[in-house]
Amino acid sequence: MDRERILLTPGPLTTTLRTKLAMLRDWGSWDGDFNVVTARVRKSLLKVIHGEDSHVVVPLQGSGTFSVEAAVATLVPRDGHVLVLDNGAYCKRAAKLTGLMGRECTVLAFDESQPVDAKALDAQLAADAGITHVVLVHCETGAGVLNPLQEVAQVCERRGKGLIVDAMSSFGALPIDAREVRFDALVAASGKCLEGVPGMGFVFLRKAIVEGCAGNSQSLAMDLHDQHVYMERTGQWRFTPPTHVVVALAEAIAQFEEEGGQPARLARYTGNYRTLIDGMSRLGFMPFLDPRVQAPIIVTFHAPGDARYDFKTFYGFAREHGFILYPGKLTQVETFRVGCIGAIGRHEIEQAVHAVELALQDMGIASGEPAI
């Protein structure tokens, strides 16, 4: 049966037909019409975080990681020193790219089932005066933990450190207000909670630091300062823009605004999350995280304890029933993940739970109960 499957992954996500249809046209990158779309997208993005007065937004070609890498390359001087608050896979990725770009990098490690701790950050900054920048992942998509952005931002401000936030999987869904939270850079992408298609990231830069970033980047393509200056001057992207991705994002943002913006998106995802937890619990599954630290973005479940379980087979059966699941990303325990984000509502989540139930039956497994 050739029906489009529903993606329960942290990106790419299921998008609306309207967003997909926006891509059925070719655009010239020098064309005035396309520049209008880019300008409109940038303006709406700033509005999402109330950053019109304090920040600029710089779009960049590529997946979200490209923009994280660009933010570090652009903000951190070559002799700078980055502290990464690490409670999962995306934090580790940020630390790795920081080191590869030749910046000194220190990792402050936390348990992957817990949020990072602003007090521990404060102590680390007190102990090592050489640290210039802190990297925080807002929602650690690895396990699904929500990290304390406001507390971390306050510590960084008090200690005079730059803060780079990877808000890839939270932006658009969880509240982020630039008038209340101080950050130097915040990174997100087209294909996550805005429900566009993947292919571009964007970085909010605090206006006060933009000029000072000139010449930091050791990479031409990743230089957000250069991209910003060029875009302000010409209205165009420096190099070939992902035109179809940009127009799809513009259409996705229009629907985001019609739905009621961030609060409405959070409400829908929270409904998805509750429906998922209720349904999966009925099947015996156990979430990995304490609900108090869980963001309503992606849920990690323990693998069933039944000896017949293996993820690939489970994935294959769930796929046959119309739903794409996601593997776990934890180092210690066997898990799998189910996303709550995308152009889906609780009816689709109920159907997804039913697909999981059928997949268990296909495997001869009576319950999703874990071994622990």
Site residues, ligand PLP (CB under 6 A): 10-11, 63-65, 68, 90, 137, 141, 166, 168-169, 189
Q: Show Cβ contacts of residue 53 under 8 Å, excluding neighbours closer than 6 positions.
A: 179
- What are the strands, taking DSSP E only, across 94-243? 104-109, 133-137, 139-140, 145-146, 162-166, 185-189, 200-206
Which residues are annotated as part of the binding site? 337
Q: Least distance from C-beta 360 to ligand PLP, angstroms?
A: 28
Residue pair 6/323 in contact by the 8 Å Cβ criterion: yes
Q: Least distance from C-beta 88 to ligand PLP, angstroms?
A: 8
Q: Least distance from C-beta 170 to ligand PLP, angstroms?
A: 8
- A 10 A CB-CB count for 361 gives 11
What does the DSSP 8-state code read for residue 365?
A: -
User: Is 63 or 300 the residue whose CB approaches ligand PLP more closely?
Assistant: 63
User: Is 178 or 298 the residue whose CB approaches ligand PLP more closely?
Assistant: 298
User: Is 138 or 268 the residue whose CB approaches ligand PLP more closely?
Assistant: 138
Q: Least distance from C-beta 101 to ligand PLP, angstroms?
A: 16
User: Is 68 or 343 the residue whose CB approaches ligand PLP more closely?
Assistant: 68
User: Is 317 or 326 the residue whose CB approaches ligand PLP more closely?
Assistant: 326
CA-to-CA distance for 220 and 314, rounded, in angstroms? Answer: 44
User: Is 19 or 169 the residue whose CB approaches ligand PLP more closely?
Assistant: 169
- What are the strands, taking DSSP E only, across 32-119? 55-61, 81-86, 104-109
- A 10 A CB-CB count for 313 gives 14
What does the DSSP 8-state code read for residue 136?
A: E
Residue nearest to ligand PLP (CB): 64
CA-to-CA distance for 105 and 98, rounded, in angstroms? Answer: 7
- What are the strands, taking DSSP E only, across 123-189? 133-137, 139-140, 145-146, 162-166, 185-189
Q: Least distance from C-beta 341 to ligand PLP, angstroms?
A: 10
Which residues are annotated as part of the binding site for substrate? 337
Q: Least distance from C-beta 139 to ligand PLP, angstroms?
A: 6
